[in-house]
Chains A and B, each alone.
Chain A
Amino acid sequence: MKKLTQLAVTAAALAALTVGSVATRADETDAFRGPALAALKGKTIAYLPISLGFDLAQAWGGTIKTEALRYGVNFKAQDPNWVTSAMAQGMTSLIAEKPDVIVTQNPDVQSLARLLKQANAAGIAVIQMNMQGAVQTDAFVGPDFIALGEQIANMMVAKCGKDTQTSHKVSLVEGVPTGGVSFYQVEGIKKVFAQHPEIKLVSSQAADWDASKARAITETVIQQNPDLCGVIDVWDGQGVGTGAAIKQAGKQGQVYFVTSGGGAQASCDRLADGTFSAFINYDAPGMGRDAWTAIMIYLQNKQKAGAIKTQIYSPTRVMTKADVKAGTCWDPEQYAKLLR
């Protein structure tokens, strides 16, 4: 408690100093820089993803933390390690601690919804990354997953649709079915498939973001349908397992496999070795940048938490083996180091 007050006082003093010096320095021509910096200085960002142990969360966190430290914003991260209840607990504690901004990621559509509403009500801005919850807050940063699903489904239709000489059998590997990434993506995919009755969706099972589960499911599906035409996995993290199952069955090249993700090095490797046939990259470091932008807008405009609600849809691009060059993908290790 004491420490915190001390910190706040120091921060306030520092902020005052900066403002003062900026105002008095005659050679500073940028009149807007001073207030902008002052608005950022000494603020606190709390980062609470579902886990700090995977590429997306590391890229987002690493990007935001780098920028935060540059402008004197406090940054702290918590790691619930894939446990929803631990995450809810962390969120509840954060609401009591009152940071200025919470950057989080919903484990599923509902579990955090109430708490996010409470956080907004308590005057804390909430930025949801990638996994959209049932409640809209200051910003959602992530691709438009319904559109992304439609895009993937159309790619699949092009390879396995009625104009092709295939079995038209497609398998879909979901994540946590209620998790935003899976929930909305599957919605988009099914919408397209509904318009293409020739596509036979032989399986649509949940792998819960777990590569080994995805592998077990896909192994089963390929055994049941040796003539499978295509597989969609909603996330590359578990897509690794799905791809391994395809490879194991000796179907690599025969089964068209599309997945999507943040574009970490592992995805490029899988594209290069042919595990992934195509990959939709929504560039996680870019999402980190979008989130930082949202934070800057919120802090500088001194708006009320939850007053302005924006869907910040991330740009995506389709990648195939041909697009993989050195440096195309990023190294999660480098961001993980930043968060340690």
Chain B
Amino acid sequence: MATTSTLAKLRYRFVPDHVIGELLSKKWIDNAIPFLVLVCVVGLFGTLIPNFFSVSNLAIQARELGEFGLVCMAMMLVIVVGGLDLSVGSNFALGNFMALALLNLAGWPVWVTIPAVILICGGVGFVNGFLIGYLRLRAFLTTLVTLIIVRAIVDMLLLKYSKAMSVSFYDSEVWDLIGLGGVGGVPSSFIILIVVALVGHILLTRSRPGWRAMAIGGSRRSAHNIGLSVRGTVCAAYTISGMLCGLAGILYAARLGGAGTDTGMGLEIAALTAAVLGGNSLGGGRGSVVKALIGAVIVLVMTNGVLRIGMNSGSGPMVLGLTLLLAVFIDVRWLKNRDKLLSKVYVSPTLVELPTPRPTDAEKGGPLALNDRLRDVEIIGLDQVESPEDVLLDENDYLFCGTRHGDIVRFSPPHYTEWEVYAHIGGSPLGMAFDKAGDLLVCVGGMGLYKVDRDRNVIKVTDETNRSPFSVVDDSRLRLADDLDIAPDGKVYFSEATIRYEMHDWPVDALESRGNGRIICYDPTSGKTHTAVRKLVFPNGVCLSHDGQAILFAESWGCRINRYWIAGPKAGTVERMLDQLPGYPDNINRASDGTYWAAIMGMRSPALDVALRMPGFRRRMARRIAPDQWLYPNLNIGCVIRFNDKGEIVESMWDRSASNHPMITSMREHKGWLYLGGITNNRIGRIRLGDWADKNWSSYRSYWGARS
């Protein structure tokens, strides 16, 4: 028993189950299937064809890939905006012909010819784009007709000029460098492809025009309704597509120097096949340069491979057809089932052994014994606030709280019946604190760390931190900033509860109970944000110790409170301060006598405690039953505890009958009163403290001294 348990512990400690789900949730995992096909195809032909991996053969393949890859990117671009371009092959032939004609017959220099040809082919693309973008013609039909028109024009030109062209041979060093040469053994056309691909990738994924194109492909109607210039973008996509075809045509002309009637014949089918094999979805919105290139390599290796193997006529197309069927079949299934698979495997519970909770029985006594001290709580703003997670008071006794509408609400003293929206931030405002200047710093769930200055301007302080080197999910963005406190040097320490889930999915994080959270530090002098402590189990409340040497923070699902030293000899280390809590600790704040308040937002239940020791059970639960029937921590009853620097609990306050103010996520002592907030509440509570409390003590003064 003991050994299995050790084994299980080691297994859950070192096997990163959660990575599978995180990998599946990445956008680039979309390329997994095409990439797998690519590997299979290359592997197959690599073994069948001798010298396949030799440098010379790779150079040959790369040179042709340069041309074909450009055409595939042209196809991908229009597919991304929700269109289709069947005229790529004809346009390619036109580019080839024009390049040869301008060089051989018109005698233009290379550097004039290349831009001229790109412009001509871009012109064809523009015609497509104008018809499809501005006149709203159907892409399939329109490009079908332009395919035939351009092909017919090329045929006509060929009939007229091809004989004259075949007599002369254009010779120039630059032209030969493009067609036959390269840099350091890498063919020029491949270099050009890589450059275009890099630029294209950046444009498509990191620039406004690219995002617009993706948005239009994803939903043309929505894009139109939010005011994007749908028509212009579509037109531009076709124009660029035409230019890419022209460039490919030039490379082809430089390589072979011949204008045949079959140039580019059937290229549209090959490019379409490649685009779809690569995982670009017809209909738009899903596509990338990488996908286009993967598809291009697959198709090229296959078509060249079956030719090289020397199979009899027909075997090539046969293999190609079967591969296309198989690949599209797998892609269709993948697309259909990927989200299902993701939702099944993303939740990855881990082994947690919570120590037995401290007793709370009223009969046995002790600091945590149940009592009714919160029964007489005064209620403020009943039905006027929704989910005040944290409460805060300033020197003038104004009471602040956040609401789930994204507002900061301010109640006016002395009766706290009048209130106003102090500022609107958005998101879900959670923990709050005043800095020395009296500006309000707020952690906003879903947004990051914000500041409301004394003139009520909302300013973003930070919404990202440094990315962890080996994290699969992008943890540089702040998903769920929870609570903060400010060190004497002005550094802001705040907790991010989890990097794997959005705020409303907090129960799923509880089900996992993995160390998904962290403590982050923002330094106002440098403006930089960095992660201070990682792998914490739902870090929640944060509070600066009275001596200013440490940060106390709660790990909710770990039912413990830790101390993180920021100064002194132990600076940088974390130590456990208080554990075996009977519930899940939330916000922590200072008390006037040098102790600390902590809110317990919900109580542990034996069933969940057992389940936490059985990660397999929780995993099955997550996969097989509906989320609303999972085991969750309860968040409907809790208490307030007070503890000292030694980690000893001094007292606790309960609402045993659960009638007045049972749910507590935060509390704030102010001039002899304790103010209470709760995230599921529609009210704020306050209760007068005993004589031990300093009637003049306020949080602001405790941190920054009396205002001068």
User: Which A residues fall within an 8 A CB radius of B?
Assistant: 1, 3-4, 51-53, 76-86, 88-90, 92-93, 96-97, 107-115, 134, 176-178, 183, 205-206, 208, 339-340
User: Which B residues fall within an 8 A CB radius of A?
Assistant: 50-51, 54, 56-57, 60, 63-64, 155, 158-159, 162-163, 165-166, 169, 179-180, 252, 255-263, 265-266, 303-304, 307-308, 310-314, 316-317
Q: How far is the CB of B43 from chain A (nearest CB, A)?
A: 16
CA distance A1 to B169 in the complex (A): 37
* Contact present for B313 and A109 (CB under 8 Å): no
What 7 A-B pairs come out closest when comparing CB atoms? Answer: A111-B258, A110-B258, A109-B166, A96-B56, A84-B260, A79-B313, A53-B313
CA distance A280 to B257 in the complex (A): 33
Q: How far is the CB of A190 from chain B (nearest CB, A)?
A: 11
Residues of B within 8 A of A108 (CB): 162, 166, 258-260
Q: How far is the CB of B24 from chain A (nearest CB, A)?
A: 38
Which single member of A76, A80, A114, A176 contacts B261 (CB below 8 Å)?
A: A176
Write the chain A residue with the least CB distance to B162: A178
* Contact present for A85 and B263 (CB under 8 Å): yes
Known: A83-B265, A96-B54. 15 other contacts (CB 8 A): A78-B307, A86-B304, A89-B304, A90-B308, A108-B162, A110-B165, A110-B258, A112-B256, A114-B180, A177-B163, A178-B163, A183-B163, A183-B166, A206-B261, A208-B261
Which single member of A77, A82, A114 contacts B256 (CB below 8 Å)?
A: A114
Residues of A within 8 A of B265 (CB): 83
Q: How far is the CB of B252 from chain A (nearest CB, A)?
A: 7
* Contact present for B310 and A78 (CB under 8 Å): yes
CA distance A51 to B159 in the complex (A): 23
Write the chain B residue with the least CB distance to A87: B307
Write the chain A residue with the least CB distance to B63: A92
Q: How far is the CB of A45 from chain B (nearest CB, A)?
A: 12
Q: How far is the CB of A208 from chain B (nearest CB, A)?
A: 5
* Contact present for B312 and A339 (CB under 8 Å): yes
* Contact present for A90 and B307 (CB under 8 Å): yes
Contact A113 to B258, CB < 8 A, known contacts A1-B51, A96-B51: yes
* Contact present for A107 and B313 (CB under 8 Å): no
* Contact present for B50 and A111 (CB under 8 Å): no
Residues of B within 8 A of A177 (CB): 158-159, 162-163
* Contact present for B57 and A93 (CB under 8 Å): yes
Residues of B within 8 A of A107 (CB): 258, 260, 262
* Contact present for A79 and B316 (CB under 8 Å): yes
Residues of B within 8 A of A86 (CB): 303-304, 307
| Complex A-B: 29 CB contacts under 8 Å | A1-B51, A52-B312, A53-B313, A78-B308, A78-B310, A79-B312, A81-B314, A81-B317, A83-B262, A84-B262, A84-B263, A85-B64, A85-B252, A85-B263, A86-B307, A96-B51, A96-B57, A97-B50, A108-B162, A108-B258, A109-B166, A110-B169, A111-B258, A177-B159, A177-B163, A178-B165, A178-B166, A183-B166, A206-B155
Most B CB contacts (10 A, CB to CB) among A51, A134, A340 go to: A134
Q: How far is the CB of B99 from chain A (nearest CB, A)?
A: 13
Residues of A within 8 A of B314 (CB): 81
Write the chain B residue with the least CB distance to A82: B262
CA distance A321 to B316 in the complex (A): 40
* Contact present for B51 and A97 (CB under 8 Å): yes
Write the chain B residue with the least CB distance to A54: B313
Residues of A within 8 A of B304 (CB): 86, 89-90, 93
Q: How far is the CB of A258 from chain B (nearest CB, A)?
A: 22
Residues of A within 8 A of B256 (CB): 84-85, 88, 110-112, 114-115
Most B CB contacts (10 A, CB to CB) among A82, A85, A112 go to: A85
Q: How far is the CB of B428 from chain A (nearest CB, A)?
A: 59
Residues of B within 8 A of A51 (CB): 313
* Contact present for A1 and B54 (CB under 8 Å): yes
Residues of B within 8 A of A83 (CB): 262, 265-266
CA distance A69 to B262 in the complex (A): 34
CA distance A97 to B54 in the complex (A): 10
